[in-house]
């Protein structure tokens, strides 16, 4: 009763918000669930039915041939050729059959089909058939084609993932993406945290100008700065005779692109920390570095986690920067690039594509659900007061 009273105390506006959020969650969850189920399904079932039918089995139409005249047996006034259209396909059953490609399911299993001229055909659900004729079967009657609709039970397998991780190069690309993403997430957080503290609690000339510059850099499109940054990177590499395609280059590129947003988010949080804590530490003789490491950094974990989610997802899903700074050779190809190449070479193999897609999203999902409780807290921090 208490729960019911609390439910009705919720206003219409909050109920509407909860309903909208629930709808959004369902809309985003359905495709993910579909990819996961499809990646576990048998190849033959995946191409003939949707993922929502995975637990109900599926049906497919195949062509089979009846026995030869030398297999006929006389039963009274009729001649019969008997056999099984499901030979070697145990666990399956026949739903319908037909003798014409235009009507492959003209007759239900267990129904006797009158084919004219004293010829009839009976196909049972277990695949056994009786091909009956009122006169002996001649050479032209042997091997007649019949179409059967076969019902198959649900089949799930991990072979799709084994194929993707071992035979399609996705495994190496998965490691490459981790090699790119983890440092490209940690480096800007470390640098931006120091900068955010300086812009929040340290007085120096030009601080306001630097804050305005940071805010302005957030809206600069990546595509606008990509070519100048690449030219600068190549010039520096040529000056030091360094290789042009290295992980260090893409780490620095992602750091540069993510730094403005990182500084902005972290400064908003750090500036909102209680001023008394910082002043008390300074009175006790703590240096700025000690205040940052022992006080500010532990208290700023929600903001750090919020940016880590954004940066990790952005770098993990990036294709453009990875192709520019790493290239497309197999040893350095990231997961998004490998999946893009797979779409061109294996576009018809849905079991491969769905398994690859789920491998691509599993790490971002783990990162998001692991840090999501800090996301809203970190984003809203500093929205009421700031330093």
Residue 242, SS3 per DSSP? coil
The whole-number pLDDT of residue 188 equals 92
Alpha-carbon dihedral 242, 248, 249, 255, rounded to 10 degrees: -150
| Pair of tokens at residue 142 | 């042997």
Which residues of the chain are in CATH 1.10.3720.10 domains?
A: 161-380
pLDDT, residue 181, reads 93
Q: What is the pLDDT of residues 305-357, one digit of tens each?
A: 888 888 998 899 888 888 888 877 778 888 888 887 777 666 667 777 888 88
- Give bridge partners of residue 62 from the DSSP assignment: 148
| C-alpha dist (Å) from residue 372 to 23, 163, 172, 296, 378 | 19, 32, 28, 21, 10
pTM: 0.69
User: What pLDDT is attached to residue 336?
Assistant: 85
Residue owning tokens 């003209």: 106
- Name the architecture of domain 161-380: Orthogonal Bundle (1.10)
* Mean pLDDT split into 10-residue runs, the chain, 387 residues: 54 80 87 85 77 76 85 87 81 84 86 87 88 86 83 81 76 88 92 90 86 85 80 75 76 89 88 86 86 87 85 89 83 84 71 81 82 62 45
């Amino acid at each position: 009763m208490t729960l019911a009273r609390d439910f009705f105390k919720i206003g219409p506006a909050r109920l509407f918000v909860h309903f909208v959020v629930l709808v959004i969650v369902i809309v985003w969850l359905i495709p993910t669930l579909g990819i996961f189920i499809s990646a576990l399904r048998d190849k033959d079932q995946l191409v003939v039915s949707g993922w929502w039918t995975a637990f109900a089995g599926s049906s497919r139409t195949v062509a089979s041939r009846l026995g030869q005249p030398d297999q006929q047996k006389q039963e009274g006034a009729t001649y019969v050729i008997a056999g099984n259209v499901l030979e070697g396909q145990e666990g399956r059953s026949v739903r319908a059959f037909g003798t014409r490609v235009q009507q492959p399911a003209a007759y239900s299993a267990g129904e006797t089909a009158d084919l004219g001229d004293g010829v009839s055909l009976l196909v049972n659900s277990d695949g056994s058939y009786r091909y009956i004729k009122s006169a002996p079967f001649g050479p032209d009657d042997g091997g007649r084609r019949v179409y059967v609709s076969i019902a198959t039970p649900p089949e799930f397998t991990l072979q799709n993932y084994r194929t993707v991780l071992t035979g399609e190069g996705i495994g190496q690309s998965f490691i490459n993406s981790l090699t790119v993403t983890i440092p490209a997430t940690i480096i800007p957080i470390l640098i931006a945290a120091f900068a955010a503290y300086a812009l929040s609690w340290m007085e120096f000339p030009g601080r306001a100008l630097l804050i305005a510059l940071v805010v302005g850099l957030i809206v600069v499109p990546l595509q606008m700065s990509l070519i100048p940054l690449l030219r600068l990177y190549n010039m520096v590499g040529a000056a030091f005779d360094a290789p042009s395609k290295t992980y260090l280059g893409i780490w620095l590129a992602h750091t540069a692109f993510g730094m403005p947003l990182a500084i902005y988010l972290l400064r908003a949080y750090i500036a909102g920390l209680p001023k008394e804590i910082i002043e008390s530490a300074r009175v006790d003789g703590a240096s700025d570095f000690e205040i940052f490491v022992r006080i500010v950094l532990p208290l700023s974990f929600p903001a750090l986690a919020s940016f880590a989610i954004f940066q990790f997802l952005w770098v993990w899903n990036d294709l453009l920067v990875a192709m520019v700074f790493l290239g497309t050779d197999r040893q350095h190809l990231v997961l998004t690039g490998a999946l893009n190449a797979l779409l061109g070479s294996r576009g018809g193999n849905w079991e491969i594509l769905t398994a690859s897609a789920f491998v691509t999203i599993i790490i971002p999902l783990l990162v998001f659900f692991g840090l999501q409780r800090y996301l809203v807290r970190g984003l809203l921090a500093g929205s009421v007061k700031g330093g």
